[in-house]
Structure 1
Amino acid sequence: MVMCSAFNCNTRPGQGLAMFHYPKDPRLRKLWIEKLKRKNFSPSNHGKLCEKHFVETDFVVSREFAKSIGFDQKKLRLKDDAVPSIFALPEQQKKTPCH
């Protein structure tokens, strides 16, 4: 079973959250991978990210609106230009001072 490929995220299919394949567009796919900040990471053809890593405006229909009308959240759709932006950084990266 495929888990979310973001660091420290254990979301799996079947938990009621939407899971998204990496984009086929090479430019957008590269952006997604860069945002993960995982050294030497290359997602498999089955790699996915869960909805937790996207802001509300990344979705065609907001999560809250979808929930309010009884829409299955697992079927949420991302906008064509959506890029993940919400990640929990590893402790080591959090402690590294910026210069």
Structure 2
Amino acid sequence: MTRSSHVFQANVTIFELIQDIIETNLLTKYHEDWTINVASRVKNAPPPHPWQPCFSSKHIIETNLLTKFHNDWTINMASRECTRQMLRSHYARRTKGDHKSSP
């Protein structure tokens, strides 16, 4: 392996780490905004009238959809990270022919 290829590999690794950090920050910000938005809607909802139920079927369906979306999003992110780690070279499984001989 030449010196330049080693430097190139280090640059690629650093670039991947920076991409992971940016992606994590964006996803965290999105999740925080989503949480604040849902909490704000609940807090600012008008009080129910005495003859009106607290939650309509629309609210229940909306809550179920948001919960399903959040669960799917969490599973998707965990799956993507697991796949990314398995595909990185230092996580890759070596075969018998990949062993280096000792000097």
Q: State whether TM-score is above 0.5.
A: no
1 or 2, which has the higher helix percentage?
Answer: 2
> What TM-score bracket applies, with the shorter chain setting the length?
under 0.3
The structure number with the bigger radius of gyration is: 2
1 or 2, which has the higher strand percentage?
Answer: 1
Structure 2 length as normaliser, TM-score?
Answer: 0.20
